[in-house]
Amino acid sequence: MATTRDSFDGLTEYCEECEMETLHQVSVQMRTESTKQENAQFSREPYRVTECQRCGTRSSQRMNDV
């Protein structure tokens, strides 16, 4: 679970690459999942994207699967 620690720079989360809690940049992106052009507008899903500010590892998770 993400936590804030009196830091205005971002969130601290566990990074599997660093094997410790590190500062992460977190954003939400809308991604199109359909490969068909005519249905693309109906297949957008929100994804939570995190990037470790120490090692640069990025990960994303579909928000509807949380």
Q: How many domains does the chain have?
A: 1
Q: Evaluate whether residue 30 is within a structural domain.
A: yes
Q: Evaluate whether residue 60 is within a structural domain.
A: yes
User: Structure pTM?
Assistant: 0.70
**52-59 contacts at long range (C-beta below 8 A, 24 or more positions apart):** 52/15, 52/17, 52/18, 52/22, 52/23, 52/24, 53/9, 53/10, 53/22, 53/23, 53/24, 53/25, 54/15, 54/18, 54/22, 54/23, 55/15, 55/17, 55/18, 55/22, 57/15, 57/16, 57/17, 57/18
Q: Evaluate whether residue 55 is within a structural domain.
A: yes
Q: Evaluate whether residue 51 is within a structural domain.
A: yes
Average pLDDT of span 3-29: 82
Domain interval for residue 52: 11-65
18-54 pLDDT tens trace? 999 999 999 999 988 877 777 777 788 999 999 999 9
